[in-house]
Amino acid sequence: MSTLSMALTALAAVFLMMTVVWVFSVRKRDASIIDIFWGLGFVVAAWSYFWMSDAATTRKYLVIALVTLWGLRLSLYILWRNWGKGEDYRYQAMRAKDPSGFPLRSLYSVFWLQAILLWAISMPLLQAQRAATPTGLVWLDLLGLVFFVIGFVFEAGGDWQMARFKADPANRGKVLDRAFWRYTRHPNYFGDAMVWWGFFLFAAATPRSLWTVYSPIVMTFLLLRVSGVALLEKGLRGTKPEYRDYVERTSAFFPWFPKRRS
């Protein structure tokens, strides 16, 4: 099967999944359930590439296993975190501007838009699965695995540490500045970016693959400037008095030792 056919088939699968999710969102009046399916969308795309590729190799099995681990962990975590909390304030604001038209508008402005975005970002996974060579693991694969492990530990570990912190009523209104959060204000976002640079390295081990470098660049940009760091910190600065001091002494994204107070 050609690369274009593989890509379009995966796009159709992701579109179908997001359309079904949209139907449920209309019934629940909760567009934010799409957040649960962001990671799962990459799993659907990756398995589409895997089943359409030619000979399965060790590196292809490794890539599909890592994507599945990352995507399912993320989706299950967001499902657990958001359970019973209702629609996210971002989508509530969009709904309030056009109550009658939002359900249909959300299909293409939220669900299909994210389907296209995650499909475009998934191109390193396509490249890693479609390429016939190398058949075995090479040094770029091993480097990609190192990036993935570091990223997964920061992302999953940061989420777990924050969940434990918020579960303690004594921490209400306080700032988590221990463990991973001592060295970066967003260990989960840093970890997510590292994971995708790891996936790119798996793709980079194959011939004619450097075009996929846009994928981790776009993901890192989104995490830093759009839906991650910038969006979250805008609210935290106003709701937690300690956060300004935390910002001054702690790296925003890349882990580093905190600044000493004068």
Q: What's the pLDDT tens digit per position in 1-18?
A: 789 999 999 999 999 999
Nearest to 198 by CA among 114, 119, 128: 128
pLDDT tens string 86-98: 999 889 999 999 9
Question: For the chain, what percentages of helix, strand and coil (3-state, to nearest 5) are there?
Answer: 75, 0, 25
Whether the bond into 134 is cis, omega within 30 of 0: yes
Tokens of 216: 């981790």
- Pair of tokens at residue 185: 């204000």
State pTM to two decimals: 0.94
What's the average model confidence in pLDDT over 90-117? 95
Measured CA to CA, the distance from residue 58 to residue 149 in angstroms comes to 18
pLDDT at residue 245 in the model = 87
Q: How far apart are CA 246 and CA 175, in angstroms?
A: 8
Q: Kindly list the domain boundaries of the chain, sorted by start residue.
A: 1-131, 137-262
